[in-house]
Amino acid sequence: MMTKQDFSRYQLRYAAGLYWLLDMEQEGNGYRRPLPLNETGADIWRALAEEGETDAAAEMLCKKYGIGKDEAGEDVRRFCRQLEAEGIMDQGSRG
């Protein structure tokens, strides 16, 4: 899982009807575009940043959206795969 320091590298902002995940430690010419997130993605990001575990993020989804544990777990895993594809989270670093 990403450490608190890893999460602090990114800021979640809301603009133009979307949440945006911004890399605040970019250097040089390798500009990383902000990653657009919907409200659920922003909720998962915040839960991962606060709790540090995918199970806690799934639990939050269950409570907030009234969905089952399996569906919530799959939503969190899908979100983490998206972060992996964007180079934000390392493969296998999910907790």
Q: pLDDT averaged over the chain? A: 89
3-state secondary structure at position 26: coil
Of residues 15 and 4, the one with the higher pLDDT is 15
pLDDT digits (tens, 9 = 90+) for 8-48: 889 999 999 999 999 998 877 777 889 999 999 999 999 99
> What is the DSSP annotation of 45-88?
HHHHHHH--HHHHHHHHHHHH---HHHHHHHHHHHHHHHHHTTS
Predicted model pTM:
0.86
Q: What angle do CA 15, 62, 39 make, to 5 degrees?
A: 5
Tell me how far apart the alpha carbons of residues 44 and 92 are, in angstroms, rounded to a whole number. 18
